[in-house]
Structure 1
Amino acid sequence: MGVFHFANHIGTICVLLASITVSACTSTSSTTPSSPTSVDALQLTSTSAPLSGGGALQVVKDLPAPQNTLNGNEQPLSPNDVLEVNVFQVDNLNRIVQVDAGGQISLPLIGTVTAAGKTVRQLEQEIETAYGANYLQSPDVSVYVKESIGQRITVDGEVTRAGIFPVSANSSLIDAIALAGGFKPVADAGKVFVYRNIGQNTLVANYNVEQIRAGKSRNPRIYGGDKIVVFASKSKIALSNLKDALGVASSAARIAVIPGI
């Protein structure tokens, strides 16, 4: 009987050891970190890295509307935008002005007004307040955007015609790809990345254009200042690739010359 009980104890210990070994192997396998080298990993993981010019590049699932756009309904004015300012029934105050590099415009009587970063409605209200304070009673001011530098996007990577393109107030990602002539044969419609400046940071999100065209995903709105990069089908996507692509697209935007401007 003693031998029998001893054998039973040995069998129980072996089973426990085997169980512990399997559990340990499983735990080690499940906790091994995976490198975010695939598009799926970037879609599921919010990752960030510092940028040389300040701020950070942050990978997000979806891009928010730019700041100061009234939830995407207004486009902020930018340096070099050309504006027409009309004061109702006071023609001698009407002007066509260009927003300077510092984001300001100059108007009769009231002098310098900051325009960049504001919506058209905000600028109208500020000009009305300035004229109403000392010069006019209940002024009615209208501001029209004649030329907008801020309403341009960069499309780069595996598209037929990479470059800088003007966009309308309701342009979408599909519209932007069409402006660039569509995809090259080597392009991957599932590896389309859109960059957007939000405050000091640059956010980037991955969109699958094939699913958008099939009606399986929404067609995101594109705003002036966005940068769109299309990667090749065989390319591996990691955060370093996204930083490099942003640098190339940003350089192209800075040196581009737009015909007719």
Structure 2
Amino acid sequence: MAGCKTLRIAVVFAVSAFIAACNTSSPTDMGIAQGAPASSGYASAALPGDADLRQVPELPAPPETAGGTEVPIAPSDTLEVFVFQVSDLSRAVQVDPSGNINLPLIGNVQAAGKPVRVLEQEITRAYARNYLQNPQVSVTIKESSSRRVTIDGEVNKAGVYQLPPTASLIDAIALGGGFSKVADTGKVYVFRQVGRQKLVALYDVAQIRAGKRANPRIYGGDVVVVFSSSNKVAFQNLKEALGVASSASRIGVGL
């Protein structure tokens, strides 16, 4: 009985902690300032803990993208080249360290630094010049080191993932298996290197899903971090404490 009394006291403390968490809010999370004042351009005040990291309302597209819409091909990318009705010419090829791919009949083709559609057009012209009449060529990026995104924090499957050609923040969260039980959907941070500047922006996924805020594009190299909700953590701890107390009570009754 003494053990059950101790557990009941522990539950009382858990309830008290939960109520306190519900009535307490912190302006910072892991050194990230909330509502950092914006200045001219996209840079705001430096954040605590990292003088080079700056919080911005919206993240700009990486400058190396073609108009901010398509990431160019990079060395080590694996491309799928398909020539319609000519299976001998269709194949997967890897971009070598010099940025070239090697294709049947036409040999080396410079690929790195070009958007996929530009490379498609160049390969089409090369085959049409001497070998095929009206060739239909399509190029897709099968795997790209420049399209990897890190998804961390309160998601069900944190890790490094390969992004589809165009991916949004909602897509990235889905790649990570969705939010965990204690995730705060209003505290989703996206970190991005833009030139020499390290930037971070805060997104509220609930607002995005409700159409109150745009669903931002996610690029290779981004880091998405989902923070936990102190209220949800406290509630989860409360549930576990109540579960332990309930089990102990049943054991005591049995005795």
TM over 0.5: yes
Question: TM-score band, normalised by the shorter chain?
Answer: 0.5 to 0.7
Is the CA contact (8 Å cut-off) linking 2:36 and 2:45 kept in structure 1? no
Partner of residue 97 from structure 1, selected from 93, 96, 109: 93
Could you tell me which residue of structure 2 aligns to residue 85 of structure 1?
Answer: 81
Gaps of 5+ in 1: 1-35, 50-55, 235-261
Partner of residue 159 from structure 2, selected from 152, 157, 163: 163
Shift of 1:217: 1.7
Judged with a 3 Å threshold, the aligned counterparts in structure 2 of structure 1 residues 123 and 197 are, in CA distance, closer, same or farther, namely farther
Could you tell me which residue of structure 2 aligns to residue 32 of structure 1?
Answer: none
Partner of residue 44 from structure 2, selected from 43, 46, 60: 46
* Higher gyration radius (CA): 1
Could you tell me which residue of structure 2 aligns to residue 144 of structure 1?
Answer: 139
Shift of 1:186: 4.1
State TM-score, norm by structure 2: 0.58
Q: Percent identity?
A: 52
Could you tell me which residue of structure 2 aligns to residue 192 of structure 1?
Answer: 188
Judged with a 3 Å threshold, the aligned counterparts in structure 2 of structure 1 residues 163 and 124 are, in CA distance, closer, same or farther, namely same
Q: Distance in 1 between matches of 2:92 and 2:60?
A: 33
Gaps of 5+ in 2: 1-30, 231-255
Could you tell me which residue of structure 2 aligns to residue 221 of structure 1?
Answer: 217
| DSSP-derived class of the 2:74 partner | coil
Is the CA contact (8 Å cut-off) linking 2:154 and 2:182 kept in structure 1? yes
Aligned residues: 193
| DSSP-derived class of the 1:41 partner | coil
Q: Which amino acid aligns with 1:46?
A: S
Shift of 1:162: 0.4
Q: Distance in 2 between matches of 1:190 and 1:105?
A: 44
Deviations 1:48-84 (A, max 9, x none): 69xxxxxx65533212334454444434223333223
Partner of residue 181 from structure 1, selected from 177, 184, 187: 177
Q: Distance in 2 between matches of 1:142 and 1:154?
A: 32
State TM-score, norm by structure 1: 0.57
Q: Which amino acid aligns with 1:160?
A: N
Could you tell me which residue of structure 1 aligns to residue 102 of structure 2?
Answer: 106
Judged with a 3 Å threshold, the aligned counterparts in structure 2 of structure 1 residues 193 and 122 are, in CA distance, closer, same or farther, namely same
Q: Distance in 2 between matches of 1:161 and 1:139?
A: 46
| DSSP-derived class of the 2:80 partner | strand
Judged with a 3 Å threshold, the aligned counterparts in structure 2 of structure 1 residues 200 and 77 are, in CA distance, closer, same or farther, namely farther
Greater share of strand residues, 1 or 2? 2
Shift of 1:136: 5.1
Q: Distance in 2 between matches of 1:93 and 1:186?
A: 51
Could you tell me which residue of structure 2 aligns to residue 62 of structure 1?
Answer: 58
